[in-house]
Each structure stands twice: as structure tokens, then as C-alpha cells.
Amino acid sequence: MRGEIYNLNAYTKAKLINHSGWNKVLPFNITPSDIDYSITTGSISASVDMNGKICMMEYSSKFSSWSDLSKGQHLHYKRYVEIGSGRIFAILCHNVTLPDCQIDSIKDIKAFQIMFYAKSKICYSEVYDGKLLAKAVTYILKK
């Protein structure tokens, strides 16, 4: 049925993500929008759009590298990045929090890796320290 919650666990986890740390960090005071549940992957993510350049962030409590993520989730983001041809980026954010605790989408990120499109192919950054996430997202959106 339209509007029905299909996966209560994923919906509940999505509501535990706190994006208030992004206030006054990104240009024009933009903040991430929650994507409560992805039909393709059943994952929790958020996105930021600035003038048509989109940065999608996937939150994982287990992985900090795209190569470790399940094949389906990886392909889901790979398709977005490829279709975006340099206008869509994906960041895998490894967060470590206690179960059932709110996730601060900046402070609780321990590591992250960027997937991007360059020279007609999908590319991956190194895995960076989570403290650099806000700078990386700002750089990507302004570039």
C-alpha cells in the first residue's frame, strides 16, 4: 500500500540519523536530505544537492570501503554515479555508534570513501579519516 512502511527496522534506523552538525558547514547552509529507505538496497542514506551537483552518502556500521559493501548496494550507487557523469558522487560513511543511539552524520563518521566518475569510468578515493568528511563534501560541491 502506498505510504506503508515496508521495513520497520530500516525506517527506525533512518530516524536515528542527526544531520544538525551540517548546519553552517556547506555553502548556502544546505543540509542533507534523508532518504529513509532505498527500494533497491534497503539501505539508509542521505543526499545533498547544490546547483545540480549531488553528493549521496551511504551510512554503514560495518564498512568503510565500497569494495567491502554487498554487491547489490555497490552496484546501486555505481549506477547513480555513472549516470551522473561527474555530477553525482557517492560517499560510503563508516559510522560507529551504540545500538539504538542517534547517529551524528558528521561526528560519528570514523572513515569514508568517495566514489566518483572521471575519464569515462568509475573511480574510488582512498579511505579517509572521518574528521575530513565535511571538508570533502564542501570541496566536491564547490568544484
| pLDDT tens-digit readout, 48-71 | 778 888 888 888 888 999 999 888
pLDDT, the chain, mean: 79
Backbone angles phi, psi at 48, to 5 degrees: -125, 135
pLDDT at 49 (0 to 100): 76
The answer, as to whether pTM is greater than 0.85, is no
Residue 125 lies in a domain: yes
pLDDT at 33 (0 to 100): 59
Torsion of CA 65, 50, 141, 88, to 10 degrees: 40
pLDDT at 24 (0 to 100): 74
Identify the domain containing residue 134 by its residue range.
8-142
Residue 3 lies in a domain: no
Give pLDDT tens digits for 75-111: 888 998 999 999 999 999 988 776 667 778 888 899 9
Residue 55 lies in a domain: yes
Residue 27 lies in a domain: yes
Residue 43 lies in a domain: yes
Among 59, 70, 140, 67, which residue's Cα sits nearest to residue 104? 59
Residue 2 lies in a domain: no
Q: Say how many domains are in the chain.
A: 1
